[in-house]
Structure 1
Amino acid sequence: MQIHWAPSPNYTGGRRGRKIIAIVNHITAGLMPGTLSWLRNPVAKASAHYLVTKTGVVYQLVKDEDTAWHAGIVNKPGWTLYDGSNPNYYSLGIEHEALAGESLTETQYQATLELHRMLVEKHKIPVDRNHIIGHYYLDSVNRKNDPGPGFPWNRLLNDLVRPNTGDSSPKIVIEAGNNIINGFLHEDRAYGPVREIATTLGWQVEWLNEARTAVLLPPADEAENKSNTARVVIASHSITITILGDMAFAPVRQMAEAMGYKVDWDGENKTVKIR
């Protein structure tokens, strides 16, 4: 993405050995070009690493490896990762051009989404509300509306956890254990990546290319508890089978019908007819 360098003198060199773990989002409560000038004015004693304008232009004021002055004053914080030290040393600050109560423009949203994607990937920042936060997480008294109720938290997090494929299908978030997996809605059904969901839950996945079939194998402890059962895959059908000795037994009707045959039951003679 295109980022315009507009250096501010309001920063501290380096990060005192701290690792970047979060992105703090702000609104400027002012408009361009004044807001950019203010963040570069030594009198302000404030800055941010990035500024995203209403028209989607992105400025960088402070290098990522340096400490911008964007969230150093802490007042009744609600951030669980706050460790008592200056949050500026372990966070990145993004300002968004907006007046109090305003929402981001669509162009501005797309620009900050791309910027967040870049920073999340670059610094390996987890995508959740504990690592992508608002200024109010650190100052709930004087910054309780920064970035304000109009900031698109849910949309931003949902978009960040899915690949940028350009697909127009409605996106969803799948919470599996402690992980977030991206999916989509199609004809009122939720779809998600089979391998990613299965492996997150501890299952193994084997892909049978010729049969165009994914086989899911349970975790070892579950497999031991069900050692007398297994599954047989026939075309698009998966059937639970029983292991007796060294032989596998399947429900006849399910197996035959999955193979494309018809099944009749002669109860009087206790006979199954497959045709």
Structure 2
Amino acid sequence: MASAALLLSLVSAAPSATAEQSASGALQRSFAAAATEYGVPERVLLGVSYLQSRWDGHGGAPSVTGGYGPMHLTDAKAALADAPHHSHGAEDARGDDARASRSALEAEIQDLAALPARLRTLERAAELTGIPEEELRTSPAANVRGGAALLADAQRRLGEEPSADPADWYGAVARFSGADDTATATTYADDVYDVMRSGQHRITDTGQQVALPADTSLRPDTATAGGLGLRTVDEDLTECPRTVACEWIPAPYEEFGEGDYGNHDKANRPSSQSIDYIVIHDTEASWDTTLQLVQDPEYVSWQYSLRSSDGHIAQHLRLKDVGWHAGNWFVNAKSIGLEHEGFLVNPDAWYTEAMYRTSARLVRYLAQRYDIPLDRQHIIGHDNVPGTVPSTIPGMHTDPGPYWDWAHYFTLLGRPFVPSAGPRAAAVTIRPDYAQHQPPYTSCAEPGDTCAPHGSGAVRLHTAPDASAPLVKDIGLRPGGGDSTDGVNDTGARASTGQQYAVAERRGEWTAIWYLGQKAWFHNPRTQRTAVNVRARVLTPRDGLAEVPVYGRAYPEASAYPAGVPVQAVTPLPYKLLAGQRYVVGERTAGEYYFATTFDSTDHTVVRGEELYYQIQFGHRVAFVKAADVRVLNT
């Protein structure tokens, strides 16, 4: 409040245009001054900072791995949590009621004294500069000085002389990554030099204008990385693009008595079943804890883990096999799971540019390999996966949550969300300005507390075109009819960036969409749009039907099951798609069920029926309807 009062007084003083320009250029000058002080080329300093934070300071709050400021100086004590991601809520990560679930394990808190150097760079920066740690956390100028000191120290440790030529700093940049293997360190350095070659400019989260001019002729001296002395990772079985650093750390497939086994299922995808989805998660645990968990046969599994500090990737399952990660067996059997190191409910959760870029490269590679469309019907968050039956809806997970920057992520994927229709379009894509759009959230650290202000890709949905109107209700999430809230984990009245919805009505600065069988209104002013108009296929109940059931999985009809494979009930969720309502169409699929309840994979069977389904964007989560119940329209 004091800061806000100070800002108000400054605004009321009506500074000159020159003064405003001077204030907005302060961070750029800090980079120049730090570069001069420590003998680091300014271009190198700007490139490293962009890959860490895109030059944002995040108000002095830590990233998901305890990194602070534009240089992401790390003090990971702020990021450690006491429970693993898959122990949250009541979700069974496998999501198949044909096989009994087991309770999730609890993770031990990591020994703070054993934290690797990559998670303690702020401490080292304080030693090198003499700047107090608190100042390095909260002052962007001090933080930049700390980063420059670390780069100069890395150059010195490699036995290299200070140089004004950015090409001579490749090894120091690789060391700055904190990676413990050569492939990750050099991939990180390659990314920094790619930023320097292509150039960047943007306005930061505090209104600072920062620019890094392009230098297409820049070619780094990669020989300067020869003295890093880092380990070589096992890449033999990895399935990754060449542009990332990928390590094989296998998840176990073991039997441990009484018909129980873990932590995944053997399969033969895509020959047996198509892979249609990529599911984005965050780990809710530190990197070391994440690796310990996925290597435990009594835990659950996913295909890839991604490290926040440098974008390093670990692959745990062959892509032909099925991981237990999404809480919905139909989705698990047809998806690939990516776990990103981070904590959804950290008060100012943000992810490094290094991890966003690595993740985007991996997703592009997977999408091309399996012909997966790059849209939000197929690249989904764990929080978009539907409950399988009514009883599982309240326990479904909510990561990566409202702080994941879907707009930036899809720009990196080469598929930015852009308008494709005029003002009277029948559908919209949710797309608020991430940095400027800061809806309040609660219950980040403690129940009911107010989360720190932060950019968000999610918009709130109301029962009427009025900010004071109640939020829409989710009868599946709250069967008793309770109200939706602004809790960070409450998805009951939330639409997320990239999701597409059919327009129900427009009124002034407000737009209504069809959502969970009701009209849901969001503020969409012309001066700051929270959605763009698009063309999309939609569906509605076929003529003569007053309502259509909605499902959480697309299972075959009973007659499709062979002898020996128990018929899985096609159980509707507690929602209805009513006559006159429309929903955007995603995947069209035949009913499928992968029967895999035994350790011996020779008994595993794919059951494929004649019943066809459409996936739809029904609420915050996707859902399925039978093709025979609806008609599809082009808008």
Q: Deviations over 1:70-97 (max 9, x none)?
A: 11x34xxxxxxxxxx5211100000000
Whether 1:42 aligns to 2:297 is: yes
Q: How many angstroms does 1:25 deviate by?
A: 0.7
Q: Deviations over 1:177-215 (max 9, x none)?
A: 99x9xxxxxxxxxxxxxxxxxxxxxxxxxxxxxxxxxxx
Q: Deviations over 1:21-63 (max 9, x none)?
A: 010011110002111111111121x111000011211010011
Contact 1:7 1:40 survives alignment (8 Å):
yes
The alpha-carbon distance between structure 1 residues 126 and 33, as it changes in their structure 2 partners (threshold 3 A), is same
Residue among 10, 16, 26 paired with 2:281? 26
One-letter code aligned to 2:251: S
Q: How far apart, in 2, do the equivalents of 1:91 and 1:172 lie? A: 23
Residue among 142, 146, 157 paired with 2:410? 157
Whether 1:4 aligns to 2:263 is: no
Whether 1:54 aligns to 2:314 is: no
Residue in 2 aligned with 1:173? 418
Whether 1:115 aligns to 2:362 is: yes
Whether 1:134 aligns to 2:381 is: yes
Q: How far apart, in 2, do the equivalents of 1:90 and 1:172 lie? A: 25
Residue in 2 aligned with 1:270? none
The alpha-carbon distance between structure 1 residues 175 and 119, as it changes in their structure 2 partners (threshold 3 A), is farther
Higher relative contact order (CA 8 A, sep 6+): 1
One-letter code aligned to 1:90: K
Residue in 2 aligned with 1:106? 353
Residue among 316, 320, 333 paired with 1:65? 320
Q: Secondary structure at the match of 1:173?
A: coil
Q: How far apart, in 1, do the equivalents of 2:341 and 2:322 lie? A: 21
Q: Deviations over 1:97-137 (max 9, x none)?
A: 00133222111111111111111111111011110001122
With normalisation by structure 2, the TM-score equals 0.24
Contact 1:52 1:58 survives alignment (8 Å):
yes
Q: How many angstroms does 1:15 deviate by?
A: 4.9
Contact 1:7 1:61 survives alignment (8 Å):
yes
Whether 1:125 aligns to 2:348 is: no
The alpha-carbon distance between structure 1 residues 38 and 144, as it changes in their structure 2 partners (threshold 3 A), is closer
Q: Secondary structure at the match of 1:33?
A: helix
Q: How far apart, in 2, do the equivalents of 1:28 and 1:156 lie? A: 18
Q: How many angstroms does 1:175 deviate by?
A: 3.3
Contact 1:15 1:90 survives alignment (8 Å):
no
Contact 2:283 2:343 survives alignment (8 Å):
yes
- Bigger radius of gyration: 1
Q: How far apart, in 2, do the equivalents of 1:93 and 1:59 lie? A: 12
Residue in 2 aligned with 1:255? none
The alpha-carbon distance between structure 1 residues 172 and 11, as it changes in their structure 2 partners (threshold 3 A), is closer
Q: Secondary structure at the match of 1:38?
A: helix
Residue among 92, 112, 130 paired with 2:336? 92
Map 1:143-222 to 2 at 5 A: 143-162=396-415, 173=418, 175=420
Contact 2:264 2:322 survives alignment (8 Å):
yes
Q: How many angstroms does 1:174 deviate by?
A: 5.1
Spell out structure 1 runs of 4+ moving beyond 4 A.
Answer: none
Q: How far apart, in 1, do the equivalents of 2:330 and 2:398 lie? A: 21
Q: How far apart, in 1, do the equivalents of 2:408 and 2:394 lie? A: 26
One-letter code aligned to 1:88: N
The alpha-carbon distance between structure 1 residues 149 and 15, as it changes in their structure 2 partners (threshold 3 A), is farther
Q: How far apart, in 2, do the equivalents of 1:53 and 1:161 lie? A: 22
Q: How far apart, in 2, do the equivalents of 1:54 and 1:159 lie? A: 16
Identity, % of aligned positions:
32
Q: Which has the higher strand share?
A: 1
Contact 2:410 2:417 survives alignment (8 Å):
no
Gaps of at least 5 residues in structure 2 are 1-243, 253-262, 388-392, 430-635
Gaps of at least 5 residues in structure 1 are 75-84, 163-170, 181-275
Contact 2:277 2:331 survives alignment (8 Å):
no
Q: How far apart, in 2, do the equivalents of 1:173 and 1:27 lie? A: 26
Moved more, 100-109 or 34-43: 100-109
Residue in 1 aligned with 2:58? none
One-letter code aligned to 1:157: F
One-letter code aligned to 1:115: L
One-letter code aligned to 2:266: G
Q: How far apart, in 2, do the equivalents of 1:33 and 1:7 lie? A: 14
Q: How many angstroms does 1:3 deviate by?
A: 1.1
Contact 1:15 1:89 survives alignment (8 Å):
no
Contact 1:13 1:66 survives alignment (8 Å):
yes
The alpha-carbon distance between structure 1 residues 68 and 172, as it changes in their structure 2 partners (threshold 3 A), is closer
Moved more, 32-41 or 102-111: 102-111
Residue in 1 aligned with 2:3? none
Q: Secondary structure at the match of 2:356?
A: helix
